[in-house]
Amino acid sequence: MIYRSKPVVLMAADMRQIDGQTFHAVGHKYVAALAGAAQAVPLAIPALGSDSELEALIALADGILLPGAVSNVHPSHFDEDVLDPSLPLDPARDSTTLRLIDAAVTAGVPLLGICRGFQEINVAFGGSLHQAVHDTEGFADHREVDSTLPEAQYGPQHLVSTVPGGMLAEITGCGEFMVNSLHGQGIARLGSGLVAEAYAPDGLIEAIRISDAKAFALAVQWHPEWDVLNNPPYLSIFRAFGTACRERAASR
C-alpha cells in the first residue's frame, strides 16, 4: 500500500495550440484551488481520447476535476450541428472526458465539474446545450464582461438561488449568493439522472448533481476556483470535494 498524505485529484487537460505546437494544458487557477482549498495533490491527465487508459486513471484517482476551458463541447454529442464555426472546439478533450465521467461515476470516484466540465457532465448523461444562451429567448447574456482584466472578467455578475434541501444548499449554507459568469453555452435539456441544484435569475440551471452517484458528484456553471480562499461559498465547494477525496483515499 502506498501512503498518501493528501488525495490525488486528476484534472482533465485541454488540447491547445501554443506557438504552433500542441500542448496538453490546464489552468493554474484550478491547480491552485485544488492544492490550497481542497488540500489535494493536482495531477493533469492528457486529452488522449480513446487512447486514455481509463482503468489506470481510475485506480490512481482519489477525485477528478473537470475544469473550464475556452473551447465548447462539440454539438454532435447532443445531435446538433455547429451553430458558430468561429468558436473553438476540442474533440480530443470531449472524447477523453465523456468516457472518464462514466468510468468515475461507476467506480465511485468523487467528481467536480466547472463550467465546461458542468456541460460535459450534462452531455454525458444525455442532456443537450444551448449553443448561444445570449441568443436564446428568455435568457440573459451570461458571457464575461468585455475587459482584459481577470478581476473584472471573474467578478460577481449575478445571483444563483440554491434548491432548498439540496446538496449545494447544504454545502454552502446559502439560499442564494453571487457568482461570476463566463459562458456562452448552457443547459437546454437536463440529462437523465441529473438533478438541478441552483438556478440563475433567468431560470438557467447553474448547478447539478448526479442523483445516484456513490460519492460526491457536483458541477457548477460558474468558476468557484477564482479567488476561492476569499469567497466562502466557493471555498465550501472545494472543501467538500476535498473531504470526499480524502474519504476515498482512506478507504483504499
**Contacts for 4 with CB less than 8 Å, ≥ 6 apart:** 41, 62, 249
In the structure grid, which three cell numbers stand for residue 160, read together? 444563483
Q: What is the sign, positive or negative, of the torsion defined by CA atoms of 36, 225, 98, 170?
A: positive
Angle, alpha carbons 117-19-73 (nearest 5°) = 20
Are the C-beta atoms of residues 33 and 238 closer than 8 Å to each other? yes
Instruction: Single out the residue of 217, 197, 194 nearest to residue 206, CA to CA.
Output: 197
Give the residue carrying C-alpha cell 473537470: 66
Q: Is 223 a catalytic residue?
A: yes
* DSSP single-letter state for residue 44: E
Catalytic one among 130, 183, 223, 245?
223
Helix (H/G/I), strand (E/B), else coil: 103: helix
Give helix then strand counts, H and E, for the chain: 7, 13
Q: Which of 115, 120, 130, 197 is catalytic?
A: 115
* Catalytic-residue membership of 134: no
Enter the C-alpha cell of residue 218.
457536483
CA 244-121-87 angle, 5° bins: 130
Q: How far apart are CA 102 and CA 36, in angstroms?
A: 28
Residue in the structure block whose three cell numbers are 500542441: 22
225 is catalytic: yes
Give me the catalytic one of 197, 206, 225, 245: 225
In this structure, the strands spanning 63-66 and 14-18 are: unpaired
Q: Which residues are catalytic?
A: 115, 223, 225
